[in-house]
Amino acid sequence: MRRIGLTSDEDVPCLGQGTWNMGERSQSRDDEIRALRVGIELGMTLIDTAEMYGDGATETLVGEAIAGLRDQVFLVSKAYPQNASRDRLARACEASLRRLGTDRLDLYLLHWRGRIPLSETVEAMEALRRDGKIRHWGVSNLDTDDMIELLSAGGAVCVADQILYNLTRRGPEHALIPWLEQHDMAVMAYSPVEQGRLIGDQKLATIAAEAQLTPGQLALAWTLRQPNLVAIPKASDVTHVRENRAAADVVLDRVTLDKLDAVFRAPRGPVALEML
């Protein structure tokens, strides 16, 4: 699988695994764990979660899924904005580590911006990095102006911004994605299939059929066309995992891209970053 440079000496697969809403239904637990494990076998070794997901239940499920596989996984979690202060971030991180059954996170993200100054969050993240609790840190749901402020607050070592980006949410293409590329920060695209809603889009289905892909594969392959981007779709069963994995090998031709552009238009000016 194509890999994305996260730092000068570390890369990650362009296709990872999201876990939003996993671990919240006991009847789905075995299938979800099996899906994550098969994804790891297929090279989707970046797994993204958050303390918010299921109020910690998702991290617990991820910890169970990666048991015995920890060294194969690039593990990402996210902290609530109210926990991003000097005195609370360390406690939030320790709680995530316990639920995940590990001694470190590969990447720790501020889930979205709150009232705590970015300079304080940078300081708290750097303290965790020095203590070996996290290897890298980044942010999520921060727009271009926020990123500029983060940089001025000492955040030059931020490695990624996790954002909502898909065919129906193309606003980041105007300014944010170019800014992140210019500053050597990776884009992490969550909900690349718009939480499954794109699968039911008839125009997308028509273009996908012409390209001999499923609508989900086409939407995912389109997102992955960005060179500095990691997509993190969620898949709760093995069939869906395999379908997602196949999309990482798709190279879309110009004709298909033009058809998609005609239906899902690129922004012509600034668009505020959207969130789900």
Using alpha carbons, select from 223, 241, 222 the residue that is nearest to residue 22.
Answer: 241
pLDDT (0 to 100) of residue 226:
94
Q: Rounded to an integer, what distance in angstroms lies between the CA atom of residue 227 and that of residue 250?
A: 14
Q: Rounded to an integer, what distance in angstroms lies between the CA atom of residue 118 and that of residue 177?
A: 20
| 190 annotated active-site | no
pLDDT (0 to 100) of residue 22:
95
Options 53, 108, 165, 190, the catalytic residue = 53
pLDDT (0 to 100) of residue 8:
84
Exposed e or buried b per residue across 179-210, where buried means at least 16 C-beta atoms within 10 angstroms of its C-beta:
bbeeeebbbbbbbbbbbeebbebeebbebbee
Ordered by where they begin, the domains of the chain are 10-197+224-250 (3.20.20.100)
Give CA torsion, residues 111, 240, 33, 17, to 10 deg.
-30
Residues β-bridged to residue 186: 160
Residues β-bridged to residue 18: 234
pLDDT (0 to 100) of residue 10:
94
Asked if residues 227 and 187 have their Cβ atoms less than 8 Å apart, the reply is: no
Asked if residues 221 and 213 have their Cβ atoms less than 8 Å apart, the reply is: yes
How do 10-13 and 3-7 pair as beta strands?
Answer: antiparallel
The CB density around residue 112, as the number of other CB atoms within 10 Å, is 18
Biggest distance spanned by C-alpha atoms of the chain: 55
How do 46-48 and 74-79 pair as beta strands?
Answer: parallel
Q: Strand locations in the chain, DSSP E?
A: 3-7, 10-13, 46-48, 74-79, 107-110, 137-140, 160-164, 186-190, 229-231
Encode the chain (276 residues) as per-residue pLDDT tens digits.
999 999 988 999 999 999 999 999 899 999 999 999 999 999 999 999 999 999 999 999 999 999 999 999 999 999 999 999 999 999 999 999 999 999 999 999 999 999 999 999 999 999 999 999 999 999 999 999 999 999 999 999 999 999 999 999 999 999 999 999 999 999 999 999 999 999 999 999 999 999 999 999 999 999 999 999 999 999 999 999 999 999 999 999 999 999 999 999 999 999 999 999
